[in-house]
Amino acid sequence: MDTTEISSIDARHVWHPYGGFPSTTRPLVVAGADGVRLTLADGRELIDGMSSWWAAVHGYRHPVLDAAARDQLGRMSHVMFGGLTHEPAARLAELLVRITPEGLDKVFFADSGSVSVEVAVKMCIQYWRARGRESKRRLLTWRGGYHGDTFAPMSICDPDGGMHSLWSDVLNRQIFAPAPPHDYEPDYVRLFEELLERHRDEVAAIVVEPIVQGAGGMRFHDSRYLTELRRMADEHDVLLVFDEIATGFGRTGELFAADHAGVAPDVMCVGKALTGGYMTLAAALCTSPVAETISAGAAGGLMHGPTFMANPLACAVAVAAVELLLERDWRAEVAGIEQGLRDGLAGVETLDGVADVRVLGGIGVVEMDEPVDMQRATDAAVAEGVWLRPFGRLVYAMPPYICSADEIARICAALGAVAQT
Ligand code: PMP
């Protein structure tokens, strides 16, 4: 099929994220991807500044990940997980339990980040049901969050003008505290705790993105908030859930964002970089007390079981991706990206229309005063040979960890060019 035909079929029949018909942007046709570069059907090459939405941390066509996929394909691509198990799932579970914060001991495999959040929420509600506390079924979260596009995650995304406000009348009513300030403010914690105390009999869990609130605003906050959340959750009898789908596997400079504070949640969601961006796989991990309480309840177990749960291909690639990460000096790689982003974005702060520039680990954010025009912004980045996908007032990059200093400099130049469109 030639490029024109692909684009024409796409325009007529294919939904794209957050899109409709006719599409307001023109999707570029990608013919291949190798290392940190996407090759377009017309031959142009773009450095992927987005890691395919936080996921492709090792880049594309990595020989180790390709080999893991091929090897597993030679054994079995899929098998149902009800009543059956397999080595890729066992190895991945053991690996995740070893590297995630202390106490997270049980692994529920899901097929996407959103579904892992659904599962985490079900775990928390079922936990309190099993303890005879049926009223504890609401969630307490921060404004400015993003947890996915299915119904439970949507109910804890930013309710104010966020992309899910269309649904506000049909979503479960959750409890929202303001987004945490960047720096540590004891007054903020006091207000949060008052809210929690007021609602403690209805709250099943506090659910947050630790250290970085992603798609809901790309905001960073002090790690002491996480320490305080752990204390408050314990003192007020609620569970604590960390959504590490975007932050997990080194992106913030620690293996998990929770590690910045040295705290462990009761339930934690991971996804995206779990398979190095190769396959769709996520997981909700929980502590033994959570799992044992649920299992001792009337239902006798967790009422969830996706068809593609623990897909062996995805698990095998995930084992290879996580082992590859641990073998590499990912800490130095992410620190190098952080420095490169800081250096490269130093001049962007003073540009007209730029409200703020912030960098943390492998994440660089340019926040504009006004929303950017998506098509013009994408065109400006592509003209610089870089793939970026700005959203609203946010222009940002989270490059693959294998980017060279030169490639990071080019990503920064593209962020600057987009900020000037
Ligand atoms: N939580 C967070 C923090 C995310 O960034 C995302 C994806 N952007 C999700 C949940 C949802 O994951 P998925 O798109 O795989 O359903």
Ligand 1 atom with minimal separation from the 148 CA: 11
Q: Which residue's CA lies nearest to atom 9 of ligand 1?
A: 148
pLDDT greater than 90 at residue 23: no
Reported as a single tens digit per residue, the pLDDT across 200-239 is 999 999 999 999 999 999 999 999 999 999 999 999 999 9
Interatomic CA distance for residues 168 and 282, integer angstroms = 26
Mean pLDDT of 51-79: 98
| Structure token pair of residue 376 | 């013009």
Active-site residue among 60, 146, 188, 225?
A: 146
Binding site residue list for substrate: 53, 146, 272, 305, 389
Choosing from 106, 122, 136, 272, the catalytic residue is 272
Q: What is the ipTM of this complex?
A: 0.99
Which residue minimizes the CA distance to atom 1 of ligand 1? 147
- Check pocket membership of 210 for ligand 1, CB cut-off 6 A: no
Q: Percent of the chain having pLDDT more than 90?
A: 94
Query: Which is more confident, 199 or 26?
Result: 199
**Per-residue pLDDT band at 160 (split at 50, 70, 90):** confident
The pLDDT score that the predictor gives to residue 54 is 98
Q: Is 112 touching ligand 1 by the criterion CB < 6 Å?
A: yes
Ligand 1 pocket member 246 (CB < 6 A): yes
Ligand 1: does its nearest atom lie under 6 Å from the Cβ of 277? no
The contacts of residue 7 (CB under 8 Å, 6+ apart) are 26, 27, 29
Q: Which residue has the tokens 């974005």?
A: 345
Cα pseudo-dihedral 123, 170, 145, 276, rounded to 10:
60
Any ligand 1 atom below 6 A from CB of 113? yes
146 carries an active-site annotation? yes
**CB neighbour list of residue 387: distance below 8 Å, 6 or more residues apart:** 38, 46, 47, 48, 49, 50, 381
Q: Residue 161: its pLDDT value, please?
A: 64
pLDDT band at 120 (very low <50, low <70, confident <90, very high): very high
For 308-343, give one letter per residue: b (16+ CB within 10 A) or e.
bbbbbbbbbbbbbbbebbeeeebeebbebbbebbee
Active site residue 272: yes
pLDDT tier, 24 (very low <50, low <70, confident <90, very high otherwise):
confident
CA–CA gap between residue 415 and residue 313 (Å, rounded):
35
